[in-house]
Amino acid sequence: MKSIILFGPPGAGKGTQAKLLESSLGIPHLSTGDMLRASIAAGTELGKKADGYIRSGGLVPDEVIVGMVAARISQSDCLRGFILDGFPRTVNQAQELDTMLKSIGRTIDAILNFDVNDDELKYRSAKRAQDALAAGQQPRSDDNPEVFAGRLKTYREQTLPVLEYYQKTQPVGVVQHIDGMLPIEQVSGQIKKLLA
Ligand code: AMP
């Protein structure tokens, strides 16, 4: 059983690494961003609520997110563990996750903090938008430069405190740091070593 959290700013490579880990560990990748985008595409009530927050670069309210994650981790494919990507993003979400895990007798095995500088993050967001256009797809509404700058601000103000929270409350060794500036294969090598 493994409960793993991939933590870090938008564009740090959490989604890419989560997908690789999903296939190597055989446990599901739970991305709250993907879940929200799927709800928006499906036109659900939850999607309608979330859309404006996402477009503005802000966070979707905790109660919406926490309910969505609680429903997802109670599904049977999560019994052997899961990889969280993009959650928790506030200290309140982290506390709610603690409560959820406690109620099912689980703990967090690893919190991997991806370190990437702001210039690289901005470059990756712009590249993702360009790649989408080149493939004839609509870029993500939050991958334009202005909104992305807002997402970085939101990360610093509301999400970084989650790292301090975990450093204070988790046993030594649970929070680990990843050099997210390296190429994908090297990042994935670092993660394998840390989880071994
Ligand atoms: P992501 O794909 O993880 O970068 O998420 C895209 C957007 O979805 C974020 O900028 C937020 O607006 C929203 N979102 C995703 N996860 C969360 C979360 N845990 N809490 C609040 N908002 C979230």
Q: Rounded CA gap, 40 and 48, in Å? A: 6
Catalytic residue flag (residue 128): yes
Per-residue pLDDT of 50-106, as tens digits, reads 999 999 999 999 999 999 999 999 999 999 999 999 999 999 999 999 999 999 899
Candidates 55, 72, 122, 128; catalytic one: 128
Candidates 80, 89, 124, 127; catalytic one: 89
pTM score: 0.96
How far is the centre of ligand 1, averaged over its atoms, from the C-alpha of 11 (Å)?
A: 12
Catalytic residue flag (residue 151): yes
Contact yes or no for 30/88 (Cβ under 8 A): no
How far is the centre of ligand 1, averaged over its atoms, from the C-alpha of 104 (Å)?
A: 25
> What is the pairing mode between strands 29-31 and 2-7?
unpaired
131: tokens are 């790649």
Instruction: Find all residues with CB under 8 Å of 177, minimum gap 6, and list them.
Output: 112, 113, 115
DSSP-based helix, strand, coil % in the chain, nearest 5: 60, 15, 30
